[in-house]
């Protein structure tokens, strides 16, 4: 019998959004409905409270309007407006629904801080879903703007939040080790990213041709796709565009690159114009609803994950990698050597490869892939990639197992 306990999930990324973090929260809410009597999601976006949309009929979604934010780089360190908005709305929801647990999807820090505040105020248990090593990322990205001595107190507060929590979900083994190295003894459960294999799956050749026609993709070239943020500094979209500028002219008839990004579209188009990349080689488009995106991706050949090589990305395994693979795409990734992705592709070469993020490496890989298309993109390999994700990284199964372990071994164990 399901206990009559409630769970309040606080997240900046709405499960209705295009973001991978929002998709993770959506499946977290779905899985949590099997163990908690009531699940409430408090997310950013919109101007008024919304319920029962984009999550599940068993979970309620409330939106916080964040029309006013602090300017960068202050907002990247601590945004008091964001903290206040989530704390106030979380307080009202906690008074009304009386949850027994509050779960913070981090980063950003303000989410964890507001959830910790509510947990202490109402005497309920805190859970943290840690999606990346954001402390290392901020240290790398912001020390050019803000002295480290001004940022370090934030990291100490984050460590106190993790230590105060009852349980932590972490996306990779590397991140689990990082948590332990920082002296945090809270129970940690591995909850990797994945793909919804019921939505992201391969299509037959005739369907792929129809989809390409519908989305104005060339039928006689290798189509490479990037889906995600256009603004995160660790996604080196500039390298991909510089690579396209440096390709031999004959490659214009062999490949086509398309970006589906949910921000920074105008500036990426400006960069394309400055680099004088031929218009028939790349297009930058607005995002698609998830079901349409899955269909579009299945008609492509290669998924692109252009990570930087910063040390804080050693842990990184983006959701888009699993979604690319689930529709059968071969993945070309850049990033740091000896990290999670390097090991992932080295152990499974039919899935893709990782190279250090340089224009020269991408030119070499793009040219090589263009010559071996028949082997890499066969139906057998496409189906093997989907089966690999379905067996090991199906989003629903992964999150259900993580929440079940959290419930049995940490919360009521």
Write out pLDDT tens, residues 90-133.
999 999 999 999 999 988 889 999 999 999 999 999 999 998 87
CB 284 within 8 A of CB 261: yes
CB 252 within 8 A of CB 280: yes
For residue 65, give Cα distances in angstroms to 77, 82, 153: 20, 9, 28
Domains of the chain (ranges, CATH numbers): 6-194+394-411 (3.40.50.2000), 205-392 (3.40.50.2000)
| 239 vs 200: CA distance, rounded Å | 27
Angle of CA points 324, 169, 69, to nearest 5°: 80
State the pTM of this model: 0.84
Nearest to 55 by CA among 8, 119, 2, 88: 8
Nearest to 340 by CA among 306, 311, 362: 311
Q: Which segments of the chain have a pLDDT < 50?
A: 1, 46-54
CB 390 within 8 A of CB 22: no
Write out pLDDT tens, residues 119-173.
999 999 999 999 887 777 777 666 666 666 667 777 889 899 999 999 999 988 8
pLDDT, residue 391, reads: 94
| 139 vs 314: CA distance, rounded Å | 15
CB 141 within 8 A of CB 164: no
pLDDT, residue 398, reads: 94
pLDDT, residue 144, reads: 63
């Amino acid at each position: 019998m399901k206990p009559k306990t409630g769970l309040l999930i606080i997240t900046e990324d709405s499960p209705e959004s295009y973001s991978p973090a929002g998709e993770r929260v959506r499946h977290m809410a779905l899985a949590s409905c099997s163990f908690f009597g009531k699940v409430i999601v408090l997310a950013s976006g919109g101007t008024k409270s919304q319920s029962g949309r984009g999550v599940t009929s068993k979970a309620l979604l409330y939106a916080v309007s964040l029309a006013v934010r602090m300017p960068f780089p202050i907002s990247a360190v601590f945004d008091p407006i964001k903290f206040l908005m989530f704390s106030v709305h979380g307080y009202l929801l906690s008074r009304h629904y009386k949850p027994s647990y509050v779960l913070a999807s981090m980063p950003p820090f303000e989410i964890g801080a507001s959830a910790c505040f509510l947990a202490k105020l109402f005497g309920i248990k805190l859970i943290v879903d840690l999606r990346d090593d954001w402390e290392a990322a901020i240290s790398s990205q912001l020390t050019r703007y803000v002295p480290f001595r001004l940022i370090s107190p934030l990291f100490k507060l984050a460590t106190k939040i993790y230590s105060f929590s009852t349980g932590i979900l972490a996306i990779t083994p590397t991140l689990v080790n990082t948590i332990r190295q920082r002296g945090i003894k809270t129970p940690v459960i591995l909850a990797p990213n994945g793909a919804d294999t019921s939505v992201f799956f391969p299509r037959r050749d005739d369907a792929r041709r129809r989809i390409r026609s519908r989305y104005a993709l060339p039928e006689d070239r290798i189509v490479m796709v990037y889906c995600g943020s256009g603004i995160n500094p660790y996604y080196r979209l500039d390298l991909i565009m510089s690579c396209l500028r440096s390709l031999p002219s004959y490659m214009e008839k062999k490949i086509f690159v398309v970006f589906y990004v949910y921000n920074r579209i105008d500036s990426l188009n400006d960069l394309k114009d400055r680099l004088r990349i031929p218009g028939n080689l790349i297009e930058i488009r607005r995002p698609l609803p998830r079901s349409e995106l899955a269909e579009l991706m299945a008609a492509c050949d290669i998924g692109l994950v252009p990570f930087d090589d910063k040390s804080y990305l050693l842990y990184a395994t983006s959701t888009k990698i699993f979604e690319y693979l689930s529709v059968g795409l071969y993945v070309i990734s850049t990033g740091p050597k000896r990290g999670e992705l390097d090991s992932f592709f080295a152990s499974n070469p039919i899935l893709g490869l990782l190279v250090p993020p340089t224009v020269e490496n991408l030119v070499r890989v793009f040219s090589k892939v263009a010559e071996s298309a028949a082997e890499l993109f066969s139906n057998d390999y496409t189906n093997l990639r989907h089966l690999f994700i379905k067996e090991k990284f199906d989003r629903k199964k992964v999150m259900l197992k993580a929440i079940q372990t959290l419930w049995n071994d940490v919360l009521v164990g």
